[in-house]
């Protein structure tokens, strides 16, 4: 009997996973978050998470700071 394994990409990841996606240390990730250099995080079940879609957009847009990211995101919604 064959079992098919399907990988599912997560919709949201915790900071350690997000840091790993970016190939940076968790400490550097925390510093960047504190400095307003990352996309927004959200609370989910008492944990802080980052949307993988936000992280991908953030990278595609050239890693803007949080304020710039939010402005770009707002412009995208208007389109």
Average confidence (pLDDT) per 10 residues, the chain, 79 residues? 84 97 97 97 96 97 96 89
pLDDT at 3: 81
pLDDT at 30: 97
List helix spans (H) across 1-79. Answer: 15-21, 26-34, 52-60, 66-78
pLDDT at 56: 96
pLDDT at 77: 85
- Taking the CA of residue 32 as centre, how many other CA atoms within 13 Å lie in the half-sphere pointing to its CB? 19
Any idea where the domains of the chain sit in the sequence? Answer: 12-78
pLDDT at 21: 95
């Amino acid at each position: 009997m064959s079992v098919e394994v399907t990988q599912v990409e997560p919709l949201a990841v915790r900071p350690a996973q997000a840091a790993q996606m970016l190939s940076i240390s968790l400490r550097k990730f925390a510093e960047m978050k504190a400095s307003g250099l990352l996309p927004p995080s959200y609370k989910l079940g008492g944990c802080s998470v980052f949307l993988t879609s936000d992280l991908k957009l953030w990278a595609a847009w050239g890693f803007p700071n949080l304020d710039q990211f939010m402005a770009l995101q707002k412009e995208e919604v208007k389109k």
